[in-house]
Chains A and B, each alone.
Chain A
Amino acid sequence: MAVLFLTPVYVILVTSLKPLDEVSLANMWALPSAIDFSSYSHAFSELAPNFMNSVYLVVPATLLSALLGAMNGYVLSKWKFKGSELIFTVILFGMFIPYQSILIPLIQFLRNIELYNSIAGLVLTHVVYGLPITTLMFRNFYANIPDTMLEAAKIDGANFLGIFRHIIIPLSITGFVVVAIWQFTNIWNEFLFAVTITNSDSQPVMVALQNLSGSQIVQWNVQMAGALLAALPTLLVYILLGKYFVRGLLAGSVKG
C-alpha cells in the first residue's frame, strides 16, 4: 500500500529528469538513461514569476490571518460574553461555504475597490476567508491555557491587552506555528480564488501550473518538473515541520 502511495512520486521524479524524446507513453516507468535537468530549467523559467507572486501572496496573508485569528481566539476563549458562542458559530460557518457562492460579489467588490487582478486583492481575500479557521484553531489552542493564570494576572492589575501581550502571545508560539503552517499550505495550494481574481502577470503558481498543462503540446517532463517545483514549498514545510503540520490538520477538523 505504501509503495502504491509512492508511485506518483516515483513517476514525477523519473519523468521530470528525462529529456523530452525519452518521455513516451511506452517507457514512462523506466529510469532515465541519463539525468537531464533541462525540464527543470524550462519549468523554472516558465513558473518563476508566478512562483514569486505566490510568495508575495502567502507571506502577508498568512501573517495577517494568523494575527487576526489569535485576537479572535483570545476573546472567544478567555473573554466570553453573552452571545459569544453564537458569534463563534456564525464565523465558523464561513469555513464550510463553497467559495463559488461568494465569488461573483467578491469579484465585483474587488473591481470597485480596484484590487481586482492584484496580489493585494488576493491577500485580502485569503485573510478574510481564512478568519474562520484561524479563529477556530486559536480558540481551541487558548482553551488549553489555564484560566487561573489569567486570574492571577488580573489580580496583579493586568488588563485585557496586558494579558494578551505578556501572557497569551508568549504562550502562543506553537499555536502560531501550527496556524501559520496551515494557512501557508492552504493559501499556496489554493486555486479557485487565484484563477478567478487574477490573470496573466499576477497569477500565483498553481494557476501557472494549470496553464502549463493546458498548453497545446503536452511536454510531460516539463509538467512534472513544474508540478514538483510548485509543490516544493509545502513539501518542505511538511518534511521540516511535520509534527506541527499534523497538529494543524487535526486542529482544523472542528473538534480536534
Chain B
Amino acid sequence: MAEQAVDRQEQEYTESRQQQPAEHKEKKPKKKISGDQWVALGFLAPSFILVLIFVYGFIGWTGWVSVSNWNTLVPDFSFAGLKNYIYLFNDYRFQADLRNTVFFTILFIGLVIVMGLGLSILIDQKLKGESLFRNIFLFPMALSFVVTGVVWQWLLNPSTGYNQFLAVFGIQPKWYTDTNILAGFEWGSIEFGLPVAIIAVVIAAVWQMTGFSLAMYLAGLRGIPDELREAARMDGASEFQIYKKVILPMLMPITVSVIIIMAHISLKIFDLIYAMTGSGANFVTDVPGVYMFETTFRGNYYANGAAIAIIMLLLVAVFIVPYLLANRRSDG
C-alpha cells in the first residue's frame, strides 16, 4: 500500500513538472524518493502532532469544560448541558460585551482601512520624505498593546491630554469614563447602541494598527504597473477616476485580507482594553476577552469562562474558516 501511495506521489510529482526531460524521470530510483518522503514526514510530524493536541485537542477540552459544572476551584467535569451558555446569554455583562464587540469591530476595521488606504495613497504620490512618513505611521506596530494602553490612558485622561486642546473649541469629551450609549434601544437587558467610551479605545487601537493596513496597501499600490495608470490617463480619466475605477478595485484582495486580520484581532482583543480601561463603569468598555479572563482566573468560574472562550472562537471562525478555505482553493 505504501508502494502504491509513493507511485501516486511520483506520478503527481512528475506531472506537475512537465518541463522536466522524460529520461530524467526513469533514472530516478523509487526507493530513494520513498526514503526522503519519510524523512519529510518525520520533519513535519512533531509540529503537526503538537498543533493537533495543543490547538484542536485543547479546543475540544475547553468545549467539554464549557458544558461542565466546573465553577469552583476544584475541577468538576460532570455534564451540565448548555447551562453555562444559557447563563451567559441572559447575563447583563455578556450582552454588553457582545454589543461592545460589534461597535468596536465596525469602528476599528472601518477606520484602519480608511486611514491606511488614505495615507498609503498620499505617500504613494512620491512626496518628499516618503520613508520618514511610512516609518512614523508604522512604528506603533512594534509596540505592545499593553504599552499602547498605558500611554493612551494618560493621553485620553478626561481632565488632561488631548482635552486641553479640545477645551479651546469648547469640547470636553469624557473619553473612556463616559457612560452614555448613543442611539440606544432596549435589547435583552442592555441598552443597544454605541457606547461613547468605546471610541477612546478605538482611537488607541487604530493608532496601533493603521501602520499595518498602510504597509499592506503600499505594497499593493507598488504592485500596480504604471502602464495601467498611463493607459487610463490616455483615455482621459482624471486622477480621481483612476483611483476609483482602476486602483481601488485592484486593491480589493488586500482590503479583504486587512478585514480578516483586523476582525480576528478585534474579536479576541484583551490586552489593550485590560491595560487601558478595564471593563469600565457599567461595562461600557468590557469585551469577551476581559470577561473571560476575569471570570476564569479571578472568579474561578472555569465553566463559564470556557463557554465565553468557545463563543469567541465561533465568532472568529465565522470569519476565518471561509477565508482559509477560499485561500486553499486558489492555491491548489
Question: Would A75 and B43 be within 8 Å (CB), given that A98-B268, A213-B153 are in contact?
Answer: yes
Q: What is the CB-to-nearest-CB distance from A207 to chain B, in angstroms, rounded to a whole number?
A: 8
Question: Would A105 and B207 be within 8 Å (CB), given that A135-B47, A189-B144, A253-B261 are in contact?
Answer: no
How many residue pairs at the A-B interface have CB separations less than 8 Å? 255
Residues of chain B with a CB closer than 8 A to A29's CB: 164
Tell me whether A160 and B39 are in contact (CB under 8 A): yes
Tell me whether A101 and B155 are in contact (CB under 8 A): no
Contact residues of B: prevailing secondary structure: helix
Tell me whether B146 and A96 are in contact (CB under 8 A): no
Residues of chain B with a CB closer than 8 A to A102's CB: 54-55, 58-59, 62
The 8 Å CB contact of B309, one of A100, A210, A226, is A100
Q: Which of A4-12, A33-41, A55-63 contacts B (4 or more CB under 8 A)?
A: A4-12
Tell me whether A227 and B292 are in contact (CB under 8 A): no
In chain A, positions 87-125 with a C-beta closer than 8 Å to chain B are 87, 89-94, 96-106, 108-109
Q: Convert A1-36 into 0s and 1s, putting 1 for each residue whose CB lies closer than 8 angstroms to a CB of B.
A: 110011110011001000000000110110000000
Residues of chain B with a CB closer than 8 A to A131's CB: 47, 50-51
Cα A92 to Cα B292 with chains together (Å): 24
The 8 Å CB contact of B297, one of A155, A161, A185, A196, is A196
In chain A, positions 73-92 with a C-beta closer than 8 Å to chain B are 74-76, 79, 81-82, 85, 87, 89-92
Question: Would A234 and B65 be within 8 Å (CB), given that A72-B47, A75-B43, A93-B55 are in contact?
Answer: no
Tell me whether A255 and B150 are in contact (CB under 8 A): no
Residues of chain B with a CB closer than 8 A to A224's CB: 150-151, 154
Cα A98 to Cα B58 with chains together (Å): 12
Q: Which of B83-91, B131-139, B175-183, B237-245 contacts A (4 or more CB under 8 A)?
A: B131-139
> Taking the complex as formed, is A44 at the interface, i.e. its CB lies under 8 A from any CB of chain B?
no
Q: Convert B136-173 into 0s and 1s, putting 1 for each residue whose CB lies closer than 8 angstroms to a CB of A.
A: 11111111111100111111010111101000000000
Q: Convert A209-245 into 0s and 1s, putting 1 for each residue whose CB lies closer than 8 angstroms to a CB of B.
A: 1100100000010011011001100110110001001
> Taking the complex as formed, is A149 at the interface, i.e. its CB lies under 8 A from any CB of chain B?
no
In chain A, positions 50-71 with a C-beta closer than 8 Å to chain B are 68, 71
> Taking the complex as formed, is A250 at the interface, i.e. its CB lies under 8 A from any CB of chain B?
yes
| Beta-carbon nearest neighbor of A154 in chain B | B28
23 contacts between A and B (CB under 8 A): A28-B154, A28-B161, A74-B43, A75-B44, A82-B8, A82-B9, A90-B48, A96-B324, A98-B264, A102-B54, A128-B50, A132-B51, A191-B274, A209-B146, A210-B146, A210-B150, A230-B146, A230-B147, A238-B142, A253-B257, A254-B257, A254-B261, A255-B327
- Beyond A8-B152, A82-B8, 14 additional pairs, beta carbon < 8 A: A2-B136, A5-B140, A81-B41, A82-B5, A87-B48, A90-B51, A100-B309, A104-B306, A128-B51, A147-B17, A189-B143, A189-B146, A206-B147, A245-B138
The 6 closest A-B pairs by CB, nearest first: A189-B144, A98-B268, A238-B142, A102-B58, A191-B271, A25-B160
Q: A residues within 8 Å of B by Cβ?
A: 1-2, 5-8, 11-12, 15, 25-26, 28-29, 68, 71-72, 74-76, 79, 81-82, 85, 87, 89-94, 96-106, 108-109, 128-129, 131-132, 135, 147, 151, 154-155, 159-161, 185, 188-192, 195-196, 206, 209-210, 213, 220, 223-224, 226-227, 230-231, 234-235, 237-238, 242, 245-246, 249-250, 253-255
